Structure 1
Amino acid sequence: MAGKALNKANLMALGTETLAELLLETVKGDAARQRRVRLVLAAGQGVEAVAVDVRKRFATIRKARSYISRKKQRTLAKELSELTELIEKRIAESAPDLAFDLLWEQLHLARGILERTDDAWSAIGDVMHQAMEAVARLSAKLTKTPEDLAEDVFDAVVGDVFGTFEHAVRATSDALGASGMARLKTLAREAAEAPAPEAEIALYAVLTGASRSEARAKAARQRRIHLLLQDLADLEGDVDAWLAQYTPQQLTAETVAPAAADRLLQAGRAEEALALVEAALERREGSTRDRLDLDESHFACLEALGRKDDLIAALWERFETRLCPAALQRHLKLLPDFEDIEAEDRARAHILGYHPIQSALLYCQRAPDLSLAAQLVLARYDEIDGEAYELLSPLADDLSAHHPLAAVLLWRAMIDFALRRGRTGRYGHAARHLMACTTADMSIEDYAGHPSHYAYVEGLRRNYGRKAAFWERLDTE
């Protein structure tokens, strides 16, 4: 149907009366949209009127007790996002302190909401993060005394069990200033000696049982105090204060050492940073878990100290043990001319002999190095596990253009696995892979000792001829 484009200019040409009728028709039966329209109407009466309506909505959300389903969660998250936008656009410019109070009140809704829903998709968490970002943009405009703001921030951070306020210190740093940060430190020292509040103990009693609830609540509170003090240390550029939040042993933990080393490097204390990282690497020895951040910190320390040979060796070790393409590339760039060619050959030989073969193929996919992948497939086809669909299927597709035989062998591995194990859910993929083998057959002159396409299909019919579901899927491809 012919008509004008749906844009602002054409809508304004309709006139206010027509637009009002259209809007009323649009929001009819939609409570969320009706609330939004009312809030915009209230804005015409001044920011205080908007604030009253926003607080009414917050009160309704706060009083609710029913479980929030996934569908309702999305609706609520959208509404909260719109409220954040409304507060920032309609209130913040003329009344930043009022806007801050409203955003802070919205952030405090998080606990009650999260206790009533499963936020596995982080819909509520994301919208609360959006509100905290709005707080950060407002921070420099606040007129609230730094000391009073520090009280609000401290209570929010230390009583926060869901992580809603974990960035509150940084978000309000402009408004806190030196005096506010000093007040936060005082409050932290006092709270560190105080028992956990009864409300937090009661919460942990539900989660862990009454016998350990007080100790758990106290430990959780101490962790939040430590995080607050770390944020303050970062804002003030006080590396030693940041480090003081950990014991010497904790500083060499693989989860802590990278962050500690990064701060020491920024402070020009590379030797200390390297000592921490090396201690963490020693503790990690024998672990199969990859900690890229720890290795990156190690590289940064060696680079800062000008220890090029040690850096070259460390990069090779990461490639050799973790099959990291980025580490190999950095290693090669640091080598003199011609030595890099020898190192490349050594790296290829390492990949060709690496076990398990799936890890080696994954390296080839990430590098990417399709010629090496093809060589690996042809040399060690019998080791390939056709169950690794997520790896083999895209790799076969990548290989098909220039290495059709390697692609066919990967497709066959997946087909054989599906049929041998009777994985009916994969029959559709297997049928598609067999059709891909048919297409690739036209590009393959020599099967290098493997059965030809015709012989392979005949073997499938002979061994799996009764798998009717597969052959029916093949007929529909």
Structure 2
Amino acid sequence: MPKRPTVASLKKVTPENLERLGAGRLAEILADVAQNRPELKRRLRMELAADQGAEHLAVEVDKRLASLETSKGRISWRQRGAFVRDVEALRVLIAERLAAQDAEGARMRMWQLMASHRRVTARLRDRDGALAAVFQRVAADLGDLLSAGDSASGGAALAEAIAADPLGWAPRLDALLQKVSPELAHVALVRLSADARATASWLPMLRALADATGDADAYRATFTAEALRDPSVAAEVAGRLLAAARLAEAGEVLEAARPKAGALKRAPEPDFAWESAWIELLERSGRPEEAQAARWASFERTLSAERARDYVRRLPDFDDVEAEQKAFEIAAAHADIGRGLRFLADWPAPAEAARTIAAREEEVGRMAPEDAEAIAAKLRVRFPDAAHLLLRKAAAAAFRRRDFATCDRLTAEADALAAE
């Protein structure tokens, strides 16, 4: 037999309980509340207009858009929440109600709402990013609306909008590009690249557009020859070429950026991203043994858990266990004990980490305090003695540095662990 609801539960403001009041009573309450809530009254009026058809809703939306465009008064912190909710409600009405009845009208008005961004954000301090989040959703909605229209006109409009407000579009372009077609992105890229107003600050947006087109050559063209010699840049470009199965060209880009030794110096360590791209190139070029050798060499140099896992999971049974144990030994004996313990804690290999702390207790004080705390947190349940020793040594090192605040914090954690 179902449990009867209590009086207290029936008084909670939930959709189910409010439904019991009936539509008439709820309408009276809502109309009464709206008299003192301008943003709620405006929302209700728009909802009523939407029921009368697209042309009636469009009139109400246009009034609000005009108000956003012409109003100049500052919005106080007390008004900020209501204002943000009002802009969000306008966005939803355009994206959902108006779009369902008049897609072209909704598209035009969503452009207007996005264009109001500069004037609107100048009127308040958006400390928590709530208004910025609304305009992120506006960009995504606009992408949905553009995807349903003509790519040529949509791409042209996007290029013009970006050129008119590059700072406003920079953080929002990705949200729109996730929704539009490669054809539309291509039109925008071509137009924006040829725009006389283009500056170096537009390059990130041009790259985002090139990525959205899926055109590796267009992405590559946004970098100078000098920039392509930077290993991290080369890794990005090579990644696009690899995705397009253009292995030879990816290899050329990576080779051109390979760190080279000077006349009297050995070659510097490779960039991690460059090395990742190089390993992928080896793997896809039918050279798995070389790829495995590169993974292991990278692990030995960096103690990267990512590299070790990629290496181990490609080994047959039993060989993987042996390789894993070898990795633990390398980490435990590493000259940088902090790096070695981070690897063991992250793997996770807590028993090996605990043994390393006991064997090298005089060295653990060299670790960064935040690393000592993080590793101790991972060891405290199964290996509390090792965690306690690590915290004590780190606290003592902090005391010697006269960093008394850190010393007190680590000591308090060690004491709490001892008490447990």
TM range (shorter): 0.7 to 0.9
Compared with structure 1, are the counterparts of its residues 391 and 98 closer, same or farther at alpha carbon in structure 2 (3 Å cutoff)? same
Structure 1 residue aligned with 2:30: 23
Asked whether the equivalents of residues 376 and 391 of structure 2 are also in contact (C-alpha less than 8 Å), the reply is yes
Structure 2 residue aligned with 1:153: 158
- What is the TM-score of this pair, normalised by structure 2? 0.81
How far off its partner does 1:167 sit?
A: 3.9
User: Greater shift after overlay, 429-438 or 104-113?
Assistant: 429-438
Asked whether the equivalents of residues 73 and 124 of structure 1 are also in contact (C-alpha less than 8 Å), the reply is no
How far off its partner does 1:371 sit?
A: 1.2
Alignment of 1:374 with 2:354, yes or no, is: yes
Asked whether the equivalents of residues 193 and 206 of structure 2 are also in contact (C-alpha less than 8 Å), the reply is no
Match of 1:2 among 5, 8, 17: 8
Asked whether the equivalents of residues 135 and 171 of structure 1 are also in contact (C-alpha less than 8 Å), the reply is no
Match of 2:191 among 182, 187, 192: 187
Task: Give the counterpart letter for 1:187 in structure 2.
Answer: R
Measured in 2, the distance between the counterparts of 1:386 and 1:182 equals 53
1:308-345 Cα distance to aligned partner (Å, 9 max, x none) = 12111221132222221121022123345554444334
1:18-70 Cα distance to aligned partner (Å, 9 max, x none) = 21233245556444434333332332333333333333333333344466677
1:334-366 Cα distance to aligned partner (Å, 9 max, x none) = 345554444334322321232432222222222
1:392-425 Cα distance to aligned partner (Å, 9 max, x none) = 3343233233323201102323544566646358
How far off its partner does 1:230 sit?
A: 1.8
1:365-386 Cα distance to aligned partner (Å, 9 max, x none) = 2211111211221122222348
How far off its partner does 1:183 sit?
A: 5.7
Q: Report matched runs for 1:390-401 at 5 Å.
A: 390-401=370-381
Match of 2:199 among 192, 200, 218: 218
Task: Give the counterpart letter for 2:246 in structure 1.
Answer: R
1:214-260 Cα distance to aligned partner (Å, 9 max, x none) = xxx73335x367437625xx53x543343333333333433432332
Equivalent residue of 1:282, what SS?
A: coil
Structure 1 residue aligned with 2:252: 275
Compared with structure 1, are the counterparts of its residues 3 and 240 closer, same or farther at alpha carbon in structure 2 (3 Å cutoff)? closer
Measured in 2, the distance between the counterparts of 1:247 and 1:181 equals 22
Alignment of 1:98 with 2:105, yes or no, is: yes
Measured in 1, the distance between the counterparts of 2:185 and 2:283 equals 35
Q: Report matched runs for 1:190-269 at 5 Å.
A: 190-191=194-195, 194=196, 196=197, 218-221=199-202, 223=203, 226-227=206-207, 230-231=210-211, 234-235=212-213, 237-269=214-246
Structure 1 residue aligned with 2:148: 141
Asked whether the equivalents of residues 114 and 138 of structure 2 are also in contact (C-alpha less than 8 Å), the reply is yes
Match of 1:305 among 277, 285, 302: 285
Compared with structure 1, are the counterparts of its residues 120 and 351 closer, same or farther at alpha carbon in structure 2 (3 Å cutoff)? farther
Measured in 2, the distance between the counterparts of 1:54 and 1:220 equals 34
Compared with structure 1, are the counterparts of its residues 427 and 115 closer, same or farther at alpha carbon in structure 2 (3 Å cutoff)? same
Task: Give the counterpart letter for 1:279 in structure 2.
Answer: A
How far off its partner does 1:91 sit?
A: 0.9
Asked whether the equivalents of residues 206 and 222 of structure 2 are also in contact (C-alpha less than 8 Å), the reply is yes
Percent identity between the aligned chains?
Answer: 27
Structure 1 residue aligned with 2:3: none
Match of 1:412 among 376, 382, 392: 392
Aligned-pair RMSD on alpha carbons? Answer: 3.6
How far off its partner does 1:149 sit?
A: 3.1
Measured in 2, the distance between the counterparts of 1:97 and 1:308 equals 53
How far off its partner does 1:156 sit?
A: 1.0
Structure 2 residue aligned with 1:83: 90
Tell me, which stretches of 5 or more residues in structure 1 are unaligned? 197-216, 440-477
Alignment of 1:318 with 2:298, yes or no, is: yes
1:106-127 Cα distance to aligned partner (Å, 9 max, x none) = 2222233455666675444432
Equivalent residue of 1:245, what SS?
A: coil
How far off its partner does 1:6 sit?
A: 4.2
1:127-168 Cα distance to aligned partner (Å, 9 max, x none) = 2221222223223433xx554433321111223223155248
How far off its partner does 1:171 sit?
A: 5.9
Structure 1 residue aligned with 2:341: 361
Measured in 2, the distance between the counterparts of 1:182 and 1:332 equals 42
Measured in 1, the distance between the counterparts of 2:189 and 2:237 equals 21
Asked whether the equivalents of residues 88 and 99 of structure 1 are also in contact (C-alpha less than 8 Å), the reply is yes
Alignment of 1:131 with 2:141, yes or no, is: no
Compared with structure 1, are the counterparts of its residues 413 and 66 closer, same or farther at alpha carbon in structure 2 (3 Å cutoff)? farther
Equivalent residue of 1:274, what SS?
A: helix
Asked whether the equivalents of residues 128 and 164 of structure 1 are also in contact (C-alpha less than 8 Å), the reply is no
Structure 2 residue aligned with 1:45: 52
Measured in 1, the distance between the counterparts of 2:287 and 2:77 equals 54
Compared with structure 1, are the counterparts of its residues 347 and 123 closer, same or farther at alpha carbon in structure 2 (3 Å cutoff)? same
Task: Give the counterpart letter for 2:228 in structure 1.
Answer: L
How far off its partner does 1:96 sit?
A: 0.8
Structure 2 residue aligned with 1:435: 416
Compared with structure 1, are the counterparts of its residues 434 and 69 closer, same or farther at alpha carbon in structure 2 (3 Å cutoff)? farther
Compared with structure 1, are the counterparts of its residues 423 and 86 closer, same or farther at alpha carbon in structure 2 (3 Å cutoff)? farther
Task: Give the counterpart letter for 1:333 in structure 2.
Answer: R
Compared with structure 1, are the counterparts of its residues 219 and 181 closer, same or farther at alpha carbon in structure 2 (3 Å cutoff)? closer
Equivalent residue of 2:173, what SS?
A: coil
What is the aligned residue count? 405
